[in-house]
Amino acid sequence: MILSLSSHDYNQLLIWAKQAHPQECCGLIWAKKNEMMHVDKLELTKNIANNPLKYFEIDPKSLFDANRKNRSSDDVLIGIFHSHPNGLTTPSYQDAMAVGDVWDASDVGDASDASDASDVGVMGDIWIIIGNGALQAWMRVENGEIFGKFNPIIINIINK
C-alpha cells in the first residue's frame, strides 16, 4: 500500500516536529473520500499529554470536531501524525498501547486485509511518525509487525 504526500506537506511535518522539539507534535491527516490514500490536508493539533516530552495526546475537541467534519463533508480523517523527539520513526510501545485510546477501534474498521484505498477505515488507520528529519507511514492492523498493531507503508512524495 502506498500513501501519497505532497513535498510541501512532507516539509511541513518536519517543520512542526522541529518547532515542537523537545516535545512531541501531533495532528490529523485528511483525505478526500474518493482519494483515501492521498493526503489532502494536515491539521496541527494541541498536544495535551501530561508529559509531552514523551507522549502525545490529541486535544479531544479536535477529535470531536473531526468526527463531525467526517459526517458532513467530503473530507475524511484517515489518520494521525506525531513526532518522536528521540528520532525514531517506528511506533513505540506507548503508541501501540494508545491505539485504542486515540479513538474507539469499533468506529475505525480493520485495514489488515486492505487491498486498495477503499478498504482504508475512517479515523485512524494511517499513522505518520516524524523523527530526526525523516518520517515513516504506518498502517494500523491486527497482528502487525510492530507490537502486533502496525505495518509500514510506503510514502510517495509528490512534488508540489
- Report the C-alpha gap between 28 and 157 in whole angstroms: 18
Q: What is the CA radius of gyration of the chain?
A: 14
Could you report the per-residue pLDDT of 82-96, keeping only the tens digit for each? 999 999 999 999 999
Q: What is the DSSP letter of 122?
A: T
Highest mean pLDDT among 23-32, 93-102, 103-112: 23-32
Fold classification of 2-158 (topology level): Cytidine Deaminase; domain 2 (3.40.140)
- Report the largest interatomic distance among the alpha carbons of the chain, rounded to a whole angstrom: 38
| Overall size of the chain counted in residues | 160
> Averaged over 148-157, what is the pLDDT?
96
Q: What is the pLDDT of residue 146?
A: 95
Whether residue 99 is predicted with pLDDT greater than 60 in this model: the reply is: yes
pTM, two decimal places: 0.86
Whether residue 120 is predicted with pLDDT greater than 90 in this model: the reply is: no
